[in-house]
Amino acid sequence: MTVITRRTLLGGAGLLLSGCDKLAEQPGFRKILFSGEKINQGLQRALADRGALAPEFRTDQMSPNFRTNGTRNPGTPDYDAHVATRFADWRVLVGGLVDRPLSLSVRDFGAMPQRAQITRHDCVEGWSAIGKWQGPMLGTVLKAAGVRSSARYIVFTCADLYNDAPYYESIDMVDAFHPQTILAWAMNDQRLSVGHGAPVRLRVERQLGYKHAKYVAKIDAVASLDGIGRGRGGYWEDAVGYDWYAGI
């Protein structure tokens, strides 16, 4: 019996999508095509323990080299200016459906209760690496902001640009409050490098690597993903049809 895994499917996504581009642009076809994703999400949620932790590793199991994924440097004048000051003036704005909007510096993130975890990063391109990440739990930040019960998703807007628009990603509230979902400002006991998303990146350890937004500048609680990008919840989801729910 042939077992078809998520990685197998993703590995063949380019061939599939290249043959379906014209069809996928038709709203009716897209509705049918992407309905399977919701079924997959529902099945995975139903079969898995929603609070289960991703595997964590020992320090001696950490990868000697941890590749960068996605953008290696936003390279915009604004970002370069922040690099020059070591992100002293960087602020992450927390807003949307919250009672207390926040403007957080890197120092603010470091002053919050911290979580450190050594986890494996699984990239959709087929490689994996183990590294140590540190930062406050996203749930801690959302509670401090007074996230409202009407919020269903958390959207991350980033400093790197794709086609002149900021990169973005989103997760639902289950993953937002998972204990291993953190806003990391440190990697392997040092402040994040530019290539790995300085000064702050998302780590959502039960999802594939493209969900781990780097260069986070804004965090918004929203009731719907409609009207954000192309409405599929993230840059790669919009651009090439990657799953929005990239659970592993």
- List Cβ neighbours of 21 (8 Å cut-off, separation of 6 or more): none
Q: Provide the token pair at 103.
A: 């403007």
- What amino acid is encoded at 199 in this protein? P
Q: What is the pLDDT of residue 210?
A: 95
DSSP annotation of 247 reads B
Q: What percent of the chain is predicted at pLDDT more than 70? A: 80
Round to whole Å and give the CA distance between 162 and 18. Answer: 20
CB 194 within 8 A of CB 79: no
Peptide linkage before 199 cis (omega within 30 of 0): yes
Note whether 116 and 131 are within 8 A (CB): no
Model confidence at 3: pLDDT above 60: no
How does pLDDT run across 124-142, given as a tens digit for each residue?
A: 989 999 999 999 999 999 9
- Mean pLDDT score of the chain: 86
CA distance 218 to 159: 9
